[in-house]
Structure 1
Amino acid sequence: MNAEVEAGDVLSKTINRIKKDIFVYGPALLIPALLNLFSTSVYTRIFSPDSYGDYALLLSTALLMTTLVSQWMQQSVQRYRPLYKSRDELGDFNAKLRNVLVAIMLLVLAIGAAAYPLVKAYSNLTTAVYVCILLLIATQTLYLVCSAVLQSDLNSKTYRKVNIAGAVLKLGLALLFIYALYKNTLSIFIALIATNLIVLIPMLRLTVLSRKEKATERASLGGTLAFAKQFAFYGFPMVGWFLGNSLLNLCDRYIIGFFYSSREVGIYIANYSIVTSSIGLICSPLLTAAHPLFMNAASQSGVTTKQFEKLITMFSKVLLLFTIPIVGFVTVYRYEICRILLGEAYTEGALLIPLALVSVLLWNLSMYGHKGYEVREKTRWMLVFVLTSAVVNTVLNFILVPPLGYLGAAIAAIGGTFTYCFLVHINSKRFIAWRLPWVSIAKAAGTTAVMAALLLLVKEFFDGGIWAQLIVGGLLAAPIYAAGLIVTKEIDLKRIAPLAKKRANKKVLERGLE
């Protein structure tokens, strides 16, 4: 009985901490997402679809390489650092992690130098671009691992400051270099590297170079190798998972380029960037705050499987209730959104926005569904699922892209992400069951359909320009959706009213005491 009470207290504290960290992580993710959205809007007006397509494809490739190098360390840091902390061995953890990072950086540079003659012989990459990509992989790896340490330590305030500073610097330096150095996409790569170097100075001092936690034993070669082996055993299946994730996001771009040209790639990636940045405004703060706290709760004894199941279901429900109406709104106003954010040259791909949104929503939903696999350290299953999804996505791309172009790629992406979501769901009962809130989904979908139909009617009879259409639609969408949830009793006013009254009375009492 005491164990159940203690476990309940752990989960209650976890939920309360998540609520708090959403607001702390929120600015750290919302501001960069908004700036990414703005930067996409700026770059698509500076560069043609062809130039933007070449740049985006190179950046995606660099990030794929970064995934191979860094993700096994990121996942392992968040899994094992809490255990070292519980044993008061953070100093030893830092010392061993430093050794691993130094070895990885040297390996990256050595492989990059050895591969240069081959890349030079079989591609049209300039030396400057190749060096930039290599440096971006190295600096981004350090940045991501240090970020994982900050998140694991629940140091959300520092994480927020670094993320916001980095987002501002990336855009500011990119525009400065574009207009002061080179008016081409090389300037963006230089800005990304410069930003990483600047923000890494305080990050390294606060994480792996921290002197606050001193090592109780010297990080010997044998100790470091054992540490790296532990990381690799847990993390390398996750590398495969993130590689599969990258293939889900990348193969369509290469296939579009193969059958068509950089122009179509540029239109496709630009419209997809709108979606990933926008949906990140909702999904990223919630998931970023939840993940390290899930992992910390997993290290506590007494937390039952059913309690974890309820926690996962709760976050799945919150995500769906917030994002399903966005799909409906974006479907109605896709052309207006595309024209405002990207410009006239990219509006032919406006239909990509709602299609991409469905794909991204399914993917973000599955991030909660597979938490049970992570907690039970069954990451190999996740690897099998994501590779299966990548194969489905690739096959669908080869079938649909030749006749449909980038629209075929967007449909294939939905097929791939749905496959992953489906596999995670039906197999989760083996570990921690992912129970989807089907009744809430049905209510949200039905309400969204009504909302979209009403918005289409308003759009048909009201013609006040693009901005006016969006503003009127936005003002109408929220109350229509909220009213629908109240009518379907998804929102229970009888429960909300007493809580609101209690909170108001508490504020009045606090003011009186002052």
Structure 2
Amino acid sequence: MLKKLLGESAIYGISSIITRFISIFLVPIYTQVFSPSDYGIIALTIASFSLLGLFVVFGLDSASALYFYEFKDPEEQKKPIATWFWTQLTISIFFSMVIISFSKSLSAILFDSPNYYGILILGSLQMIFYTFTSVLQKWLRFQRKAFTTVSLTLATSLLNIALTILFVIYFEWGIEGIFLAMLVSSFLNFLLCLFMMKGWLSFSNYDRKLHKKMISFGLPLVPASIAYWVSNSSASYFLNFSLDQTDVGLFQVGASLATGVLLVTGAFQMAIGPFIFSQKDGPDIKLLINRVFLGYISITTIIVSAISIFAYEILVILTREAYYPSKSVVPVLAFNFLLLGLNYIGALGLNMTKDNKPYMYAVISGAILNVLFFFLLIPIFGIVGAAWSMTLSNIVATSIIFNSSIKRYPIKFYFSRGLQIVIIGAIVSFLANPWVPEQFWIGVLWKVLLVLILVLVIGLISFPKLKLNSKIVTTV
């Protein structure tokens, strides 16, 4: 079973690597076109729509996954998909109309200028068509069609990037070009969705009784999702309030580098949910989850450390000097992304027992702490303070999630080994990140050697427990 999960994760991971590599290709172009302040405006807009998206989805994407696997009849499986789709589409249209109606006022509130109302209109329209993209991708994942899902995701990314280059670089439409590219690619995905999901999205498949059950399951996820957004996407607002849009832009560039961790976490998250739910009645499910836990920490810590160690070199290659200060937030945010993926693994036990309330309490507690840390640390430490605020609050949330999950679905996780791996990776990352070598390529060689040594050490710690013939032990 573990081999199947790794195989699906590898497919998703290859897609993430290719897509992110193509995205990184745009960074040196963007840094020549946009100032750090422009990046700040882009970050604030994306953060705003990500928050709005939580209300649009309403937790029904997670609920649809649960009930999809409970139905064995293919005709019955259409009900949770269609119920989710029509609910999200209705809500997204409502919010879109509100944003369009008050776009100039909202622009003045967000950016201290009404002149950016156009990007809010484009973003709100894209939100409607993204419903189709979201449902189509999840529908393919539910059916374990990893290759098709990846092909669609990759094609969408390539199209969006090509359109972005066309609109931003060739036509010189600035920030508006970025959001117009998103809108056009989402519209084309809307057409593809109608073609591929014939019969699935018919309103006749909408089930009112099932809708109530899905709302009951998804409702606790909404405040949790809002709290999650506060912990991981609201930094732009607090930085803009305490500092300025330039600092928002610098923070965003550093965060973009740190999201390289999503090459691992994104692949695992896309594969783990459908795979674990499809195997939940198997005799070795707890052993599988335990190995996933340790394997995730091992691989992700290596990625986190490598990105942190080479942050300066990456910025030199991809950006210009105005963006070099971004490197200071990379290791903190990279470990924060590690925690986010870990939360997903920790919450598997809660999903198995259909009790998401502890997850909600954990994320809300983390969000409250995050806001408090923002007010305390940003005025003192600037963008680094914002990064530490997010990471410290997520440490608390992660601890609560695992503790609650183990009480309801007992698993003897390899916590001690996982903690050893994270501590070693953190020490290496934070010591090497500030180093700016006098000779660029000589420094690169030394850092490569450092990463190789780290890989060896982590492998020695984790491999004995990841061998296929290993058994769950009574101690951790």
Q: TM-score category by the smaller chain?
A: 0.7 to 0.9
Is residue 2:180 matched to residue 1:203? no
Is residue 2:444 matched to residue 1:470? yes
Which of 214, 219, 239 is the equivalent residue of 2:204?
219
Q: CA deviation at 1:390?
A: 0.5
- TM-score scaled to structure 1, two decimals? 0.81
Aligned residue for 2:174?
184
Aligned residue for 2:299?
322
**For residues 261 and 156 of structure 2, what CA distance do their matches in structure 1 show?**
20
1:113-512 alignment to 2 at 5 Å?
113=100, 115-116=102-103, 119=106, 124-125=113-114, 126-207=116-197, 210-211=198-199, 219=204, 224-276=207-259, 278-298=260-280, 300=281, 303=282, 307-433=284-410, 435-441=412-418, 443-445=420-422, 448=425, 464-465=439-440, 467-474=441-448, 476-485=449-458, 488=460, 490-491=462-463
**For residues 453 and 181 of structure 1, what CA distance do their matches in structure 2 show?**
42
**For residues 392 and 13 of structure 2, what CA distance do their matches in structure 1 show?**
30
Is residue 2:51 matched to residue 1:64? yes
Q: Is the 8 A contact 1:146 1:204 kept in 2?
A: no
> After superposition, what is the alpha-carbon deviation per residue over 1:132-161, rounded to whole angstroms, capped at 9, x for unaligned?
121122122331122111111112122111
1:47-126 alignment to 2 at 5 Å?
47-70=34-57, 72-86=59-73, 88-93=75-80, 95-97=82-84, 99-113=86-100, 115-116=102-103, 119=106, 124-125=113-114, 126=116
Q: CA deviation at 1:70?
A: 1.9
Q: Is the 8 A contact 2:122 2:179 kept in 1?
A: yes
Rg (Cα) greater in structure? 1
Q: Residues 225, 446 of structure 1: CA spacing in aligned structure 2 closer, same or farther, 3 A cutoff?
A: closer
Q: CA deviation at 1:116?
A: 4.5
> After superposition, what is the alpha-carbon deviation per residue over 1:176-196, rounded to whole angstroms, capped at 9, x for unaligned?
101333441110000011111
- TM-score scaled to structure 2, two decimals? 0.87
Residue type at the aligned position of 2:190 = L
- Consecutive unaligned residues of structure 1, counting only runs of 5 or more, are 1-11, 497-514
Residue type at the aligned position of 1:473 = K
SS in 2 for 1:377: coil
**For residues 225 and 263 of structure 1, what CA distance do their matches in structure 2 show?**
48
**Which aligned runs of 4 or more in structure 1 are off by greater than 6 angstroms?**
449-456
Q: Is the 8 A contact 2:106 2:117 kept in 1?
A: no
Q: CA deviation at 1:66?
A: 1.6
Q: Residues 151, 331 of structure 1: CA spacing in aligned structure 2 closer, same or farther, 3 A cutoff?
A: closer
Comparing 320-329 with 365-374, greater Cα deviation is found at 320-329
**For residues 402 and 455 of structure 2, what CA distance do their matches in structure 1 show?**
28
> After superposition, what is the alpha-carbon deviation per residue over 1:198-221, rounded to whole angstroms, capped at 9, x for unaligned?
1232233223xx24x798xx828x
Q: Residues 25, 120 of structure 1: CA spacing in aligned structure 2 closer, same or farther, 3 A cutoff?
A: closer
Is residue 2:23 matched to residue 1:36? yes
**For residues 263 and 248 of structure 1, what CA distance do their matches in structure 2 show?**
21
1:12-27 alignment to 2 at 5 Å?
12=1, 15-27=2-14
Q: CA deviation at 1:17?
A: 2.6
Q: CA deviation at 1:259?
A: 1.1
Q: Residues 102, 414 of structure 1: CA spacing in aligned structure 2 closer, same or farther, 3 A cutoff?
A: closer
Aligned residue for 2:471?
none
SS in 2 for 1:89: helix
SS in 1 for 2:174: coil
Q: Is the 8 A contact 2:100 2:120 kept in 1?
A: no
Aligned residue for 2:472?
none
Comparing 263-272 with 66-75, greater Cα deviation is found at 66-75
Comparing 76-85 with 255-264, greater Cα deviation is found at 76-85
Q: Residues 224, 268 of structure 1: CA spacing in aligned structure 2 closer, same or farther, 3 A cutoff?
A: same
SS in 2 for 1:273: helix
Q: Is the 8 A contact 1:324 1:448 kept in 2?
A: yes
**For residues 48 and 430 of structure 2, what CA distance do their matches in structure 1 show?**
40
Comparing 166-175 with 97-106, greater Cα deviation is found at 97-106
Identity over aligned residues, as a percent? 18
**For residues 423 and 384 of structure 1, what CA distance do their matches in structure 2 show?**
8
Residue type at the aligned position of 1:24 = I
Q: Is the 8 A contact 1:400 1:412 kept in 2?
A: yes
Q: Is the 8 A contact 1:245 1:386 kept in 2?
A: yes
* CA RMSD in angstroms, aligned pairs only: 3.1
